[in-house]
C-alpha cells in the first residue's frame, strides 16, 4: 500500500522536537491581560503580550459592545464590494488625521498590510532593499513582489548605501524596514535611511507595528521621534499591538492609498474586518492622544528594567524600547529559562529560530503600562535567582 502523503510531517515535527524548536498551542482561560489564567496552572504574570498600553481587555471591550448594537459582526465582503462600513471610513479618516497624512487604508492585519503593499509597489523589474531582521510579513512581501531582493546587515546604513550605489538600472527601487524591531527592541537608523532614499531616488517604506502608540511625543511612532515623517513615503502600522484591537493600516499620500485600494491583494481579495474592530481602533486612538502618560511611563519603566537586568549580568542587546530581550544564545537555554520563569509564576516567551538568528535565542519581555510595580519586582527577583 502506498504510504500516506502526509507522513513527511511526522519526520519534520520530530526534527523540530529534537532541536528544541517545536511549538505547542496554548489556550488561556479568561481575557488577555497582565494576569493570565492558563489551563491547569496557577495564574501567570503576562510578559508576552503586545498590548503595550493595556487597552485590549476592558477599555476597548466597552467600545466594541457599543458599536456591535449598530453594526452587528461580520463584514460579508471585501471593502471594494460591500464590506466597508461607516466605522471603517471614520477610522481611516481619524488615522490620517492622527498620522498627519492625506489618507489611510485599513487591512485585515498588519501582516496583510505589509506583504500586499510591497507586492503592489514593486515587481520583477524593480529592486527592494531590506534590513536582515525585518518582520516575516515584509520578507514575504519582498518574495511575492518578484523584485530583485537585496538584504543589508541589521541597521547597517553604510552597507545599504553601497548596495544602492552598485544597483542602478532598475525601474523602481524601494527601501523597507521595521522601525522598532520586534524581537530585539532596537530602532532602525531612520534618519540615515531617509537620507539614502532621497539621494538615490528610492521609495522608503517603514513598518511601525510595535512603535505606534508608544514612540514619539504624539505617539505616532519612531518616524515621529526621529523627525523623518515627511521623508517616508509609505508608513505601515497595526491596530493589534499597542492599540489593542486587530487590523493593519497604511498611511501616506492620497494617490498611494488609491493605488493600494486598487492593487493591494489583501485589500482587494480579503473580507473587511468587523466594524466593531474599527470602533475599538478609534477608541484606542483617542486614548493614545489623550493619555500620553501611558507611553511615557512605559518607556521609563523599560529603561529601568533594562538597567536592573544588566546590573545582574544579563545582556539586553541594543534594546531602547518596551521590548526587552534577554539574550541567552542557545534555543534550549531559552526554553529552559522560560520554564524556570514559568515555575515562578511568570510568562516570558522563549524566542528561537527562525524568529531570531541561530545562536541568538532570547527571552522576550514585553512590558505594558498595565503591569504593576510588584509584578515587575517579581520579574527582576526571578531573573536574579536564575543568575545566582
Ligand atoms: C514588525 C511587525 N510587523 C507586522 C506584524 C503583523 O501585524 P499583525 O499582528 O497586525 O498582523 C507584526 C506582528 O507580529 C510585527 O511584529
Query: Tens digits of per-residue pLDDT, 317-349?
Result: 999 999 999 999 999 999 999 999 999 999 999
With CA atoms as reference, report the closest residue to 45 among 385, 374, 384: 374
Per-domain boundaries in the chain: 26-47+292-387, 59-290
Q: Is the CB of 207 under 6 A from ligand 1?
A: yes
Backbone dihedral region for residue 296 (phi beyond 0: left; psi -120 to 50: alpha; all else: beta):
alpha
Ligand 1 binding pocket mutation candidate from 110, 213, 349 (most atoms within 8 A of CB): 110
Which numbered atom of ligand 1 lies nearest the CA of 134?
1
Q: How far apart are CA 23 and CA 18, in angstroms?
A: 12
Q: Is the CB of 117 under 6 A from ligand 1?
A: no
**Interval between CA 41 and ligand 1 midpoint (Å):** 29
Q: What is the pLDDT of residue 1?
A: 67
Q: What is the pLDDT of residue 278?
A: 96
Q: How far apart are CA 343 and CA 330, in angstroms?
A: 20
Q: How far apart are CA 300 and CA 303, in angstroms?
A: 5
**Interval between CA 17 and ligand 1 midpoint (Å):** 26
**Interval between CA 356 and ligand 1 midpoint (Å):** 15
Task: Summarize pLDDT for 230-279 with one digit per residue, the tens.
Answer: 999 999 999 999 999 999 999 999 999 999 999 999 999 999 999 999 99
**Interval between CA 211 and ligand 1 midpoint (Å):** 11
Q: Is the CB of 337 under 6 A from ligand 1?
A: no
Task: Summarize pLDDT for 283-308 with one digit per residue, the tens.
Answer: 999 999 999 999 999 999 999 999 99
**Lowest-pLDDT range, 15-29, 259-273, 360-374?**
15-29
Q: Is the CB of 131 under 6 A from ligand 1?
A: no
Ligand 1 binding pocket mutation candidate from 116, 182, 278, 349 (most atoms within 8 A of CB): 182
User: Which residues, 6 or more positions from 175, have their beta carbon under 8 angstroms from its beta carbon?
Assistant: 128, 129, 130, 160, 193, 196, 197, 202, 203, 204, 205
Can you tell me whether residue 2 is helix, strand or coil? coil
Q: How far is CA 345 from CA 36, 40, 143, 275, 331, in A?
A: 10, 13, 41, 37, 21
**Interval between CA 209 and ligand 1 midpoint (Å):** 6
Q: What is the pLDDT of residue 12?
A: 97
Q: Is the CB of 273 under 6 A from ligand 1?
A: no
In CATH, what is the architecture of 59-290? 3-Layer(aba) Sandwich (3.40)
Q: What is the pLDDT of residue 262?
A: 98
Q: How far apart are CA 100 and CA 223, in angstroms?
A: 12
Q: How many CB atoms lie within 10 A of CB 267?
A: 25
Q: What is the pLDDT of residue 23?
A: 85
**Residue 140, Cβ density class (10 Å: 0-12 exposed, 13-18 middle, ≥19 buried):** middle
Q: How far apart are CA 93 and CA 332, in angstroms?
A: 47
Q: Is the CB of residue 322 less than 8 Å from the CB of residue 209? A: no
Q: Is the CB of residue 302 less than 8 Å from the CB of residue 47? A: no
Q: How far apart are CA 247 and CA 238, in angstroms?
A: 6
Place of cell 524566542: 351
What residue owns the CA closest to ligand 1's atom 9? 110
151-158: long-range pairs with CB below 8 Å, 24+: 154/181, 155/131, 155/186, 155/188, 155/189, 157/189, 157/192, 157/193, 157/196
Q: Is the CB of 182 under 6 A from ligand 1?
A: yes
> Which listed CATH number (3.40.50.1000, 3.10.129.10, 3.80.10.10, 3.90.1150.10) goes with 26-47+292-387?
3.90.1150.10
Which numbered atom of ligand 1 lies nearest the CA of 182?
16
What residue owns the CA closest to ligand 1's atom 16? 182
Q: What is the pLDDT of residue 41?
A: 79
Q: Is the CB of 238 under 6 A from ligand 1?
A: yes
6 compared with 33, residue with greater pLDDT: 6
Q: How far apart are CA 185 and CA 222, in angstroms?
A: 12
**Interval between CA 111 and ligand 1 midpoint (Å):** 5
Catalytic residues: 182, 210, 241
Let me know the angle formed at the C-alpha of 254 by 175 and 134, rounded to the nearest 5 degrees: 25
Q: Is the CB of 134 under 6 A from ligand 1?
A: no
Q: Is the CB of 110 under 6 A from ligand 1?
A: yes
Which numbered atom of ligand 1 lies nearest the CA of 247?
10
Decide whether 26-47+292-387 matches 59-290 in CATH topology. no
Q: What is the pLDDT of residue 57?
A: 79
What is the pTM (predicted TM-score) of this model?
0.95
* Per-chain mean pLDDT for the chain: 95
Q: Label the pairing between strands 44-46 and 346-347.
A: parallel
Buried b (16+ CB within 10 A) or exposed e, 103-131: bbbbbbbbbbbbbbbbbbbbeeebbbbbb
Amino acid at each position: 500500500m502506498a504510504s500516506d502523503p502526509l507522513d513527511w510531517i511526522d519526520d519534520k515535527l520530530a526534527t523540530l522536537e529534537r532541536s528544541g524548536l517545536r511549538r505547542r498551542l496554548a489556550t488561556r482561560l479568561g481575557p488577555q491581560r497582565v494576569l493570565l489564567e492558563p489551563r491547569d496552572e496557577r495564574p501567570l504574570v503576562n510578559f508576552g503580550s503586545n498590548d503595550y498600553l493595556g487597552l485590549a481587555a476592558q477599555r476597548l471591550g466597552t467600545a466594541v459592545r457599543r458599536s456591535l448594537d449598530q453594526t452587528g459582526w461580520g463584514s460579508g465582503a471585501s471593502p471594494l464590494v460591500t464590506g466597508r462600513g461607516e466605522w471603517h471610513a471614520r477610522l481611516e479618516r481619524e488615522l490620517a488625521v492622527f498620522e498627519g497624512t492625506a489618507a489611510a487604508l485599513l487591512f485585515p492585519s498588519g501582516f496583510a498590510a505589509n506583504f500586499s503593499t510591497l507586492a503592489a509597489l514593486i515587481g520583477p523589474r524593480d529592486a527592494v532593499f531590506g534590513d536582515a531582521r525585518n518582520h516575516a510579513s515584509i520578507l514575504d512581501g519582498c518574495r511575492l513582489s518578484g523584485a530583485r531582493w537585496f538584504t543589508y546587515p541589521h541597521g547597517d546604513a553604510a552597507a545599504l548605501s553601497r548596495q544602492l550605489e552598485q544597483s542602478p538600472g532598475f525601474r523602481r527601487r524601494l527601501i523597507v524596514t521595521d522601525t522598532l524591531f520586534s524581537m530585539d527592541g532596537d530602532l532602525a537608523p531612520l534618519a540615515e535611511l531617509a537620507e539614502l532614499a532621497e539621494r538615490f531616488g528610492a521609495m522608503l517604506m517603514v513598518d511601525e507595528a510595535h512603535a505606534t502608540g508608544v514612540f514619539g511625543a504624539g505617539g505616532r511612532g519612531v518616524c515621529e521621534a526621529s523627525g523623518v515623517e515627511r521623508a517616508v513615503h509609505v508608513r505601515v502600522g497595526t491596530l493589534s499591538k499597542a492599540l489593542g484591537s486587530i487590523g493593519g493600516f497604511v498611511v501616506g499620500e492620497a494617490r498611494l492609498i488609491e493605488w493600494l485600494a486598487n492593487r493591494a491583494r489583501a485589500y482587494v481579495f480579503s473580507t473587511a474586518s468587523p466594524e466593531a474592530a474599527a470602533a475599538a481602533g478609534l477608541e484606542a486612538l483617542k486614548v493614545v492622544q489623550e493619555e500620553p502618560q501611558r507611553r511615557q511611563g512605559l518607556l521609563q519603566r523599560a529603561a529601568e528594567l533594562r538597567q536592573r537586568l544588566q546590573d545582574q549580568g544579563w545582556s539586553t542587546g541594543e534594546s531602547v524600547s518596551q521590548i526587552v530581550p534577554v539574550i541567552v544564545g542557545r534555543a534550549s537555554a531559552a526554553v529552559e529559562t522560560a520554564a524556570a520563569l514559568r515555575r515562578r509564576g511568570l510568562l516570558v516567551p522563549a524566542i528561537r529560530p527562525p524568529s531570531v538568528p541561530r545562536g541568538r535565542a532570547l527571552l522576550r519581555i514585553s512590558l505594558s503600562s498595565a503591569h504593576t510595580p510588584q509584578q515587575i519586582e517579581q520579574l527582576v527577583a526571578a531573573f536574579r535567582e536564575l543568575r545566582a
